[in-house]
Amino acid sequence: GNSVTQMEGPVTLSEEAFLTINCTYTATGYPSLFWYVQYPGEGLQLLLKATKADDKGSNKGFEATYRKETTSFHLEKGSVQVSDSAVYFCALDDNYGQNFVFGPGTRLSVLP
């Protein structure tokens, strides 16, 4: 079946550091890929998405590129802020919402 694997957290960085959170997936078809973010006490919010190979999703300074050859969708940000502290979930959808799978999440803590 489909699955999503993320790097284990927590990830602790200093403000303005470079961020990478690795995500790899297993899917039978050609899924859409997503990053969701969950801030403390809030629901999950869509951060960015990519629907086909080589697409780059971007939002709020975060980027991720859909790499079919390595089945990866790594999240990056050039300079993190304290306000980026949250849990980040990688996810895939291979059937128009009928088979949506989340990864386990990676907690990011950014220190001032």
If phi > 0 it is left, if psi is from -120 to 50 it is alpha, else beta; for residue 9 that is: beta
Q: Whole-number minimum distance, CB 89 to other proteins, in Å?
A: 5
Task: List, in sequence order, every residue forming a beta bridge with 62; answer none if it has no partner.
Answer: 59, 77
CA gap 38, 54 in Å, rounded = 26
Stretch that binds other proteins, among 21-29, 55-63, 78-86, 101-109 (CB under 8 A): 101-109
Q: Whole-number minimum distance, CB 25 to other proteins, in Å?
A: 12
From 7, 44, 55, 71, residue interacting with other proteins (rule: CB under 8 A): 44
Nearest to 62 by CA among 23, 24, 5, 95: 23
Q: Whole-number minimum distance, CB 26 to other proteins, in Å?
A: 15
Residues that bind other proteins (CB under 8 A): 4, 36, 41-46, 49, 89, 91, 93, 96-98, 100, 102-105
